[in-house]
Amino acid sequence: MISRSEPAAALAAAPLFADLSPDVVSSLALELRRIELAPGDLLWRQGEASGGLHLVETGRLTVTAGGPGGREVELAQMGPGDVVGELPLLAGGEHAASVRAVELASVLQLDRGRFRALLSSFDPSAEALRRRLLNVVCERLRRQHARLCAMLGDGPALGAGADFVSEPAPIPPHAYLARLALFRDLGEQELDELLAVSVVVDVARGTELCAEGATPAFCAVTLCGALEELVRRGDRGVRVRLAGPGLATCYAGLLDGLPSSVSVNARERARLALVPRPAFDDLVAARTRIGRAFLEALQRDLVGALRVAQRPLARLSFG
Amino acid sequence: MCRVLAYLGLPTPLETLLYATDLSLARQAYNPRMMASFVNLAGFGFAAWDDATAHPDEPFVYRVTTVPTHDENLRALAHKLVPACVLAHVRGVVDGQPAVVSQQNTHPFRFARARVALAHNGHLREFARMRRDVQAHVRPELASLVEGNTDSEWLYALLLSQLREPLGRPDVEELAAATIRTLEIVRDLRARHRIATASPANLFVTTGTSLVVTRFSFDHGWYPPDDPLLELDLAYVTLWYTLGGEYAEHGGAWEMRGADVTSSVLVASEPITADASTWLEVPEYSLLAASRDGDTVETELHDLEV
């Protein structure tokens, strides 16, 4: 149990901050603001601007999404050591869900600007923090997918897991690629470097790239067309996300080492840049500008995927 | 590209739907949130059905090239009307691209004596190449009623041509089937002409008691080189809905407070309030069908496998 009297201890005990040096932790602890919540108190409402990163010190919080008629669906519960409110800090935008205390709770708030400064530092511990944050988002995404699967009921998951057929394809012009979300922050040379380690292919509509439960061998970036992430149980299924041009998929398992929680199919015929696992691992581990820009782009993509995954959950609950 | 709103349910002031909220359709004309760098100043129109008026099967229809925020006639009309069904549209055209801004090209489209009205959020790329073949699938008596030069009006004529009685009042099942058949015909004609570029077709079709809305795009994700609409179409064209009881302001928030039985549904290109927490996203490649019977509205979502 984390002590309420030691913000530094609370930080150090939180898995997210485990790689920070004691000096950084002590310095951050001085800037934490404690917020006490009574049962039912709102920490923030869905749609509000972010005030910073919040670390649960004591008590339990519920994370909910609204629906028609003022109803709510619970997305998750958070307890001591969990962080909340990281998504707008990683990818911009507003809070996608409301957070409220279930019981007496204490939360430590790290100011938005301070957290952003920490994340953008070149300090090795900041690199580790960025990777841990990615894993936090991966874990949340997997939980959302598991919730969706539970709502679909019993039945086998989708996907045969066989190799898929693809055709080598030309690389679209740089002027086009530079307008896509995943490449927007890459210079021309860095884009060339990324494409040099990728394989550009065309796949037909309906092609299954990765089955649920399989371990992906690549990260797939859609250049043209669209992929879809699906969960299915028996004859019930739901599209979790449509990944059109500039969005990536199949990479969560490359980041956290776990099997895919969705199956990935081509919803339209698609032109893809496939980044094979070894090249992907090298890229995200490298402390180069391209590695960092690629990781930040994946971070935004992952947060987008998590936000979108909330929508079918709300629809199944209220629709 | 455009912004569209469709409402079906308990009689609701038109003013509420067009003007009252912080992201109302009138505001979406010049400040849409879910479209990249695009405004919708090329015309406004609505069709509204009010049970309390003479000829309740026939809608009020209003189509102008005036911007709704500066249309005093529209404001006065919206203040008076309390319809049970509304289909409203603000039209956007691309700066620098050939487009005729005229009353004939504003949505919603409704031929004289027709019971069905249609508005379109999207655009069929390379439509000129397939226009003649589309016309060949339209009944001649309907083709002669086309006044404008938009792809959307031809989609409307094509859809009416799929009804057993083109000027009749189909039930929601027939309306949905005609909408799907229309998309299938367009798909086949595109294939014949080797047209394979992204063409959003979010269609809003209503009779005043039945409503069918699609969230659909042909060949999503494929664009011609140097396409001026690329940023607009990289993301799938949005579509949202909310449902419940009366749409009204509750403690400063506009929403449909829960009713055990759904009595109203509001579908729009994007939520008409900045607080989107009471809205749900219509999934891509799907069709929302709604029908009204008295104070009850039944809604169904279907996958669109076109």
pLDDT value at A2 more than 50: no
Question: What is the nearest CA distance from B235 to chain A, expressed in angstroms?
Answer: 7
Question: What is the nearest CA distance from B280 to chain A, expressed in angstroms?
Answer: 6
Q: Is A119 on the interface with B (CB under 8 A)?
A: no
What are the start-end ranges of the H helices in chain B?
14-15, 25-28, 72-80, 127-136, 140-143, 151-160, 172-192, 230-234
Among B256, B274, B285, select the one facing A69 at the smallest CB separation: B256
pLDDT value at A265 more than 70: yes
Per-residue pLDDT, B36: 61
- Phi, psi (5° rounding) for residue A80? -50, 130
Per-residue pLDDT, B257: 82
pLDDT value at A3 more than 60: no
Token output for A160: 């045969």
Q: What distances in angstroms separate CA B305 from CA A228, B180, B217, one per listed residue?
A: 14, 9, 11
Contact A68 B259 (CB under 8 A): no
Question: What is the nearest CA distance from A226 to chain B, expressed in angstroms?
Answer: 6
For chain A, give the percent of residues with pLDDT over 90: 54
Contact A311 B279 (CB under 8 A): no
A98 contact residues in B (CB cutoff 8 A): 277
Task: Determine the Cα–Cα distance for residues A63 and A84; give it in Å rounded to an integer.
Answer: 9
Q: What distances in angstroms separate CA B150 from CA B84, B120, B155, B178, B180, one per listed residue?
A: 28, 10, 9, 20, 20
Put simply, whether the predicted model's pTM sits higher than 0.90 gets the answer yes
| Terminal CA-CA length for chain A | 40
Contact B281 A315 (CB under 8 A): yes
Residue-wise pLDDT for B1-38, tens only, equals 799 999 999 999 999 999 999 999 998 888 887 776 56
Residue-wise pLDDT for B85-143, tens only, equals 999 999 887 766 667 788 889 999 999 999 999 999 999 999 999 999 999 999 999 99
Among A66, A224, A319, select the one facing B221 at the smallest CB separation: A224
Q: How many CB pairs under 8 A join A and B?
A: 93
Task: Identify whether the C-beta of residue B198 lies closer than 8 Å to the C-beta of residue B218.
Answer: yes
Closest CA to B60 of B68, B69, B71, B51: B51
Residue A20: CA count within 13 A, CB half-sphere: 27
A71 contact residues in B (CB cutoff 8 A): 258
> Could you give the angle at the alpha carbon of B52 between the alpha carbons of B49 and B57, nearest 5°?
40
Q: Is B270 on the interface with A (CB under 8 A)?
A: no
- What confidence category does residue B53 fall into, taking pLDDT thresholds of 50, 70 and 90? confident
Q: Is A168 on the interface with B (CB under 8 A)?
A: no
Q: Please give the residue of chain B at the shortest CA–CA distance from A223.
A: B221
Task: Give the best residue of B280, B284, B298, B305 to mutate against chain A (max A CB count within 10 A).
Answer: B280
Closest CA to A238 of A247, A228, A248, A246: A228
| Sheet containing B44-49: order of strands | B60-64, B44-49, B85-90, B3-9, B264-268, B240-244, B280-281
B46 pairs with which residues across the strands? B62, B88
- What confidence category does residue B259 fall into, taking pLDDT thresholds of 50, 70 and 90? low
Q: What distances in angstroms separate CA A293 from CA A113, A122, A223, A301, B138, one per listed residue?
A: 20, 13, 18, 12, 52
- What confidence category does residue B84 fall into, taking pLDDT thresholds of 50, 70 and 90? very high
Pairing of the two strands A263-266 and A227-233: antiparallel
CB atoms near residue A91 (< 10 Å): 17
pLDDT value at B228 more than 80: no
pLDDT value at A121 more than 80: no
- Phi, psi (5° rounding) for residue A138? -55, -45
Contact A176 B245 (CB under 8 A): no
Q: What H or E segment, with its residue span, contains residue B250?
A: strand B247-250
Closest CA to B292 of B219, B215, B207, B230: B207
Among A244, A312, A314, select the one facing B236 at the smallest CB separation: A244
Burial status of residue B44 (CB atoms within 10 A of its CB: 0-12, 13-18, 19 or more): buried
Contact B221 A98 (CB under 8 A): no
Q: Is A225 on the interface with B (CB under 8 A)?
A: yes
Q: Is B302 on the interface with A (CB under 8 A)?
A: no
Contact A267 B285 (CB under 8 A): yes
A269 contact residues in B (CB cutoff 8 A): 219, 222
Q: Is A315 on the interface with B (CB under 8 A)?
A: yes
Per-residue pLDDT, B20: 95
